[in-house]
Structure 1
Amino acid sequence: MERGLSSAMAALSALFALSWSVFLLADGSAPDPDVRAVGAVFLAQAVITATRGWRMRLSRKDAAVAFVLAVLGQAVIALGGTSRVVVGQRCLLAVPAVLLATAALPRWVGRWVCVAAIGAQVAASWPADGPAVALESVWPVVATAVAGGVLVPLMRTAGDRADRAQRQVRAVKAAAGRAAGRREAHRHFQGMLHDEVSTALQAISLPGVPVARLREAATGAVTALAAAPAGPGLGGRSDLAAVLRSLRAPEGTTLTIEITGQVPVPPDVAEAVMGAVREALRNVEDHAGARTVRICLRRGARDRPDDTDRGSDGFTLSVTDDGRGFPAGELPSTSVGLRRSVIRRMTTVGGSAEVLSTPGRGTTVRLLWSPPAAAPAAGTAARPGAAEETVGRMQAAVGDVRRPLAAVCLPFLAVMGVIAAVHTLRTPGTGHLLVWYVSLAVITMALLLRAGTVIPRPVACGACVFAVVGALGSFHVLPLVGLADYTSWPVGAVTPLLTLLVIVRPAWEALTALVVEQIGIVVLVVAGPPIASSAGATAALVVPALFAPALGVITGLAIGRTVARLGGATARAEAERSVTLAAEAARQAREELHSRRLADLGEAILPLLTAVGSGRCAPDDPDVRERARLLDGAVRDEIHLPGVLDRAARELLSRARGEDCAVFIQSDSDDPHPPAFLRLLLTTALNCGPTPRELYLTVNATPGGVRASLVLLPGHEVRARALREAVAEAVTGSVVENSLSSTWVEADVRAS
């Protein structure tokens, strides 16, 4: 925001420089060298301020220099008589000082500097012009000081508020990124446990599996455990065709891979597809009894029912075997392999999967994926107009644009209203001009209230016509020589309206109205009776009058466009920053969850898998196979109850399995469940009484929580009593029943 204020001040200083250049050229024949010296000094100051404002942030030094020069310039001109310089040009000595004071100095210091600069101009004019003219001539400086004193703090406050809001947005997006990263890492870890770790441990626990295959499976599982999941869409594109060609044929089958050309996809899609295909091949090897397997990959996903309007991008991949197959509808909803490792993987990345099978005729697993629908091309959808875009960008920078607009316009309206009333009383036959100004002020206020949305073009153009026609028409009753003072006040009365419109509407509308007014005044001066003794003297009178409305309009244009540009840049940078922060938060969450889950399981599993993969232990050793069987049970428990079991619970389950207890844990969802209550059920059941012969734990999702059912065979009164006491303290409405054949617990647990 500070940089924007400096840029706006640079634009105004360039306008000051232009005015002083015209003044020096028009009054070059004047015999007073002190006036030319003042003009040259202020021209140099305007050029330096404009250059510094564009290149860097203006500082307190610039404000101090402007104030000193303003006071000295007024004194120099006053010593020779203020009548040598028209009032409009004298105001240009103090306007830069008050603008820089409000923008670059502390608030209380800036106020006193503004008062001193205004007082210097009044003191310089008072002896020659009288108190009334001296006070009247200072109104542009007063209005500028009031507008700057209100606008600059408001913009800074709004900027601070926008910064806080942006920090809150970043925090929310980072939290959302962390949550998404945890969900993604959870799904990745669950799939990796089933596809790699459990498969390797199960193979090690079975006799007769070739040693080479066991080592390959163990090494692959270790690699999978060590690799954290990649984020979606990161790292460019992966060629799906290339990674599919590295697949190994299932044991006892012939694998044929049919691929034409490259199929580039995001890395997360390639990872999901490879996991799904590997699971399909494992099912072929373990269950199908097939002789041949064919993988067919082709670009385009037109076979998908809901893909009719998504084009031919994406792919269709099928894994077909000639095995025994199974009846349609036989696939259970709780099938871990196909449901989680195939269907869930594809839906997670925006694709789909289907399993088609017929007894005796084999099975086909079909995977389909299409990229997300592209955003409408430029011009195909409604885009905001220039006015909507400008207002939107300003709102991104300062919030409600009506407050800064009111700070710019209302001081000018108020002061100009006083001047209009005073001159209407002084000049007979000009009462209709006061009515015109009151109407103009009402229109400006109405448009100011509407500026928070969009002002329609017909309304804006109509207001411009009313303002310019009234200002030029005033010279039917006002003398052109009044351009030297505030008798021609209607010329500057259009400033608030045009300033407002140049900020919230396309700039050309207000600038066109300003140019029309300026040209009209020049035409009237050229066509009318002489108002000065020479062309140079005439220019010296006219230029400050033309500069009065131009100052406000150019000020509004500079501030409005600077704020809009900064707002647009802020919005773009904030969007990019938020995306980056969310992605980084998701990456950290993925790595943290992966590391935590790995720490829970890896200390027991990794040594065994590493030893088998490296050949340091014989996989046909009965102790190794038994250890692998128990660890496979622990992995499957973790798959069904992710994040629930701690070390103590896993040790109890492993001990129970070692004592020939058949443990069956089933869940209808792989999302995390209430860990404390489920751990309480298991530890109470296994710590009280003898080891049961069978243990069944089923967890089903319910609206607002889960339903946990625990069955232990045979029944045991001591165990039942301990379970009854434990669950009664944890949840209400639980049921614990016991008989000689079984102990049964059922409880509804609300999600925390």
Structure 2
Amino acid sequence: MNFRAGVEVGLQRAYAVLLVLFGASWAALAVQGLGGTGPVGGAPLSTAAAVAFVVTSAVLVVRGLTTRLGPADVAVMALVDAAVQVAFVLEEPAGLVVGYRTQPGVAALVPLLTLAPRRFGIPGAAGVVGLLVVTSIPADGVLAAFLNVWPLLVAGSIAAGMAPALRTAGARADAAARAERDARIAADVAGAEREASAEFARILHDDVSAALRGAATPTVPADERRAEARRAVEALDGSPGTAAETGEVDLRETLAGLTGHTPRRTTVPDAPVPVPAGVADAVLGATREALRNVDRHAGANEVALRLDDGPRPRVTISDDGAGFDPASTDGSAGIAGSIVGRMASVGGTATVGSAPGRGTTVTLTWEPDDPEPGPAPTGRVALLVAATGDVRRPLYAVTVGYLAIMAMVALLQPGQVPQARWFLLWYAVVCALTVLLIVRSRTGVGPVPALAAAAFAVGGAVLSVAVVPYEDLLTFASWPVGAVAPLLTVLVIVRPSPEALLAVLAEQAGIVLVLAIGPMAGTAVGDVVLFALPMLVAPALGTLMGALLGVTIRRLGRATIEANARRAAVDAGAAADRVRRTVRDRRIAALHEEVRPFLASVAAGTDDPVTRRATATALEMAIRDELHLPGVLDRELRAAVDAARATGCRVVLQTAAGVRFDPGLVAALLRPVLGGTPPGEIVLGLHDDDGATTASLVVVPGRELAPPDGARVTMRDVTPEYAWVEVVVSA
């Protein structure tokens, strides 16, 4: 689900709430009419129309909450509204006041402006408004007929402003989510490419280079030479790890197959040590490299391998050998890449402690990540902002039209409302408070100003019922009762829903109480409520619709954010996996034809002992070049380097640790130098220069050097003795 779909669901559910309120109001009329009493008693057409409206409302409520409403649903409600208005013209039941008659019109108008296609919705809405005017003229007169449509105009302005604003906000939120997803995928892809290159370098250093060194060393036993070659072939043929690898393995079993020359004392716990498969591979590779370093460099009598269980599984490799100064190995491929880098790639750590004459201790530690926390508790305004971009826009769309039309009604009713000036002043303050609440909604509205605004608005509405003549209460003279709806709608969206709902209940209870102890004293409470129902609907309608709309959008906004995050994680993981495989395949292709067949023959014992050493030495040099300049030497350029070395040219290729560069630019810089007669010496080094990667190429004796087209040259010096050029090759 996306944000735009969430907005559509929210609009439908808000419409369902409107139908529940109107349906409940008309259900009382229908029941009384069927019994021959009430406002439509003795008016069979109006009673039938009331029953049709209640049934249609019930059906559309169910459909609105369970499926998507379509043009047929909108058309049915418009026909029912027409039936209600025509029945009124034909029978003119005296009790069917305008407060009741406008409700089917609003029920027909809202879906026309929010759910129907625009080319049908606008003409249909105009038809609904025009029908109410025409059917009101015989009973109410021309002026009153036009005044009767203000509830429709209010509802229409809200619907016409709210729906586009929410849809636009939903579309913006979808665009933002897509942009965030694309950025996350791009970041994960870049990280995966770096990790794939680092992992490939570790394979070259730990497995391939070690196997080639063993093949080039006559004193290495045949069984060990074959085993090293076999491991290297498996590493070259293996698939890179993927984000989907979540199975666990016992770290004890993973470390059980380690071999080495130096006598080893191994200590493992009795219970299994479960870790993710990717972590086990990283620990195995780092441990194997540490043991290999002991065999090559330590001259130790014994090495101790210890595995400790617990929340942070730890492997310790300690020897009693010669030791070394760790500072002297900073950036070395064996320690920095194959041990420290390998553990860092799975969220672990590796420390190396040593000193000359005191042996060496390597400690590998992995700590499981904490379970990913659920979405942080987010305030209602923050969720609305996340779902709509700027919560103020839909709030303005919902309230401004209502406030403006209500102001027109108030100005046209001064003679029917005692103390009209004071109520107009009160309404001006209510409008100002509503706008102020909307302005503050972006950063949040506190409980004290919200309570004060609600108390002022509700107090004025209840007071109006006490001063308006009883016979005018069901006319537009009671406009202050409905005038509070925009303010309460804003509050129910930006504040906890119970606060605004309590304010509505307070207004409803206050109105009923004023009537019960005043003009309707001695009347049953039920009859008082039924009399006041047309007045009570307006504020309740706006508040409940706002509450449901806010709750729906917040809930769907949270669900959509979580779904987008999960989908982005899956997409990013899949993209990262593809990059890992692509990088690995690309990097290995140039070496596969020569290195793998040779190592396979060594592993099988079918290699030529006479040429083994020379071939292994040449291939090891190629591997070293690949480690120093990853991705630069394709098959053609590697052949040129080999040919230059065969003539006695000294070729030195080196890169500072951690620099990132464009392999194509480096290759373009090196290729012209290797064409034709090779020089006596070629030195190419890459280093960081104030955040930019610079390639320094020195050729002895001097000759003219041709930097790549478009490359930024920072230094060039050509003499008969040497040629020196520096070019920016940042990735």
Q: What TM-score, normalized by structure 2, do the two folds share?
A: 0.92
Write out per-residue CA displacement over residues 677-727 of structure 1, whole angstroms, 9 at most, x where no aligned residue. Answer: 5434543444343563x6544333222334444556xx54xxx22437889
Shift of 1:732: 4.3
What is the DSSP-based 3-state SS (H/G/I as helix, E as strand, rest coil) of the residue aligned with 2:306? strand
| Correspondence for 2:656 | 668
Aligned residues of 2:659 and 2:687 also touching (Cα < 8 A): no
| Correspondence for 1:286 | 296
| Correspondence for 1:734 | 716
Aligned residues of 1:430 and 1:477 also touching (Cα < 8 A): no
- Which deviates the most, 701-710 or 1-10? 701-710
Distance 1:678 1:116, change over 3 A: closer
What is the DSSP-based 3-state SS (H/G/I as helix, E as strand, rest coil) of the residue aligned with 1:721? coil
Matching residue within 646, 658, 663 for 2:634: 646
What is the DSSP-based 3-state SS (H/G/I as helix, E as strand, rest coil) of the residue aligned with 1:723? coil
- Which deviates the most, 128-137 or 509-518? 128-137
Matched, 1:365 2:362: yes
Take 1:690 and 1:160, find their aligned partners in 2: how far apart are those partners?
62
Distance 1:116 1:623, change over 3 A: same
- Which deviates the most, 453-462 or 131-140? 131-140
Write out per-residue CA displacement over residues 264-285 of structure 1, whole angstroms, 9 at most, x where no aligned residue. Answer: 4444433332221111111111
Distance 1:330 1:138, change over 3 A: closer
Structure 1 letter corresponding to 2:360:
T
| Correspondence for 2:211 | 200
Shift of 1:414: 1.1
Matched, 1:700 2:726: no
Structure 2 letter corresponding to 1:500:
V
Matched, 1:246 2:225: no
Matching residue within 3, 20, 26 for 1:14: 20
Shift of 1:611: 2.7
| Correspondence for 2:4 | none
Structure 2 letter corresponding to 1:229:
P
Shift of 1:91: 1.0
Matched, 1:496 2:486: yes
Q: Structure 2: which 5+ runs fail to align?
A: 1-6
Take 2:573 and 2:299, find their aligned partners in 1: how far apart are those partners?
44
Distance 1:233 1:735, change over 3 A: farther
Structure 2 letter corresponding to 1:734:
R
Aligned residues of 1:63 and 1:97 also touching (Cα < 8 A): yes
Take 1:725 and 1:236, find their aligned partners in 2: how far apart are those partners?
50
Take 2:710 and 2:24, find their aligned partners in 1: how far apart are those partners?
87
Structure 1 letter corresponding to 2:341:
R
Distance 1:729 1:178, change over 3 A: closer
Structure 1 letter corresponding to 2:45:
D
| Correspondence for 2:434 | 444
Aligned residue runs from structure 1 range 509-548, under 5 A: 509-530=499-520, 539-548=529-538
Matched, 1:336 2:346: no
Matched, 1:464 2:454: yes
| Correspondence for 1:721 | 703
Take 2:618 and 2:323, find their aligned partners in 1: how far apart are those partners?
31
| Correspondence for 1:226 | 237
Structure 1 letter corresponding to 2:63:
R
Aligned residues of 1:233 and 1:268 also touching (Cα < 8 A): no
Shift of 1:220: 1.3
Matching residue within 629, 637, 656 for 2:617: 629
Q: What TM-score, normalized by structure 1, do the two folds share?
A: 0.89
What is the DSSP-based 3-state SS (H/G/I as helix, E as strand, rest coil) of the residue aligned with 1:484? coil
Take 1:581 and 1:197, find their aligned partners in 2: how far apart are those partners?
33
What is the DSSP-based 3-state SS (H/G/I as helix, E as strand, rest coil) of the residue aligned with 2:321? coil
What is the DSSP-based 3-state SS (H/G/I as helix, E as strand, rest coil) of the residue aligned with 2:715? coil
Matching residue within 530, 536, 557 for 2:547: 557
Structure 1 letter corresponding to 2:705:
L
Aligned residues of 1:641 and 1:670 also touching (Cα < 8 A): no
| Correspondence for 1:319 | 317
RMSD: 2.8
Shift of 1:89: 1.1
Write out per-residue CA displacement over residues 541-560 of structure 1, whole angstroms, 9 at most, x where no aligned residue. Answer: 32111112111112212222
Aligned residues of 1:643 and 1:672 also touching (Cα < 8 A): no
Shift of 1:297: 2.4
| Correspondence for 1:308 | none
Shift of 1:339: 2.4
Percent same amino acid among aligned pairs? 38
What is the DSSP-based 3-state SS (H/G/I as helix, E as strand, rest coil) of the residue aligned with 2:685? strand
Matched, 1:473 2:463: yes
Take 1:205 and 1:280, find their aligned partners in 2: how far apart are those partners?
21
| Correspondence for 1:303 | none
Shift of 1:291: 2.8
- For these two proteins, the number of residue pairs brought into alignment is 720
Matched, 1:568 2:568: no
Aligned residues of 1:10 and 1:54 also touching (Cα < 8 A): yes
What is the DSSP-based 3-state SS (H/G/I as helix, E as strand, rest coil) of the residue aligned with 1:85? coil
Shift of 1:138: 1.6
Matching residue within 163, 178, 190 for 1:167: 178
Structure 1 letter corresponding to 2:13:
S
Write out per-residue CA displacement over residues 226-253 of structure 1, whole angstroms, 9 at most, x where no aligned residue. Answer: 22332468415444333222322x1252
Aligned residues of 1:67 and 1:97 also touching (Cα < 8 A): yes
Take 1:259 and 1:745, find their aligned partners in 2: how far apart are those partners?
59
Take 1:196 and 1:472, find their aligned partners in 2: how far apart are those partners?
85
Structure 1 letter corresponding to 2:643:
R
Structure 2 letter corresponding to 1:704:
G
Matching residue within 39, 45, 49 for 2:56: 45
Aligned residues of 2:391 and 2:441 also touching (Cα < 8 A): yes
Take 2:658 and 2:440, find their aligned partners in 1: how far apart are those partners?
54
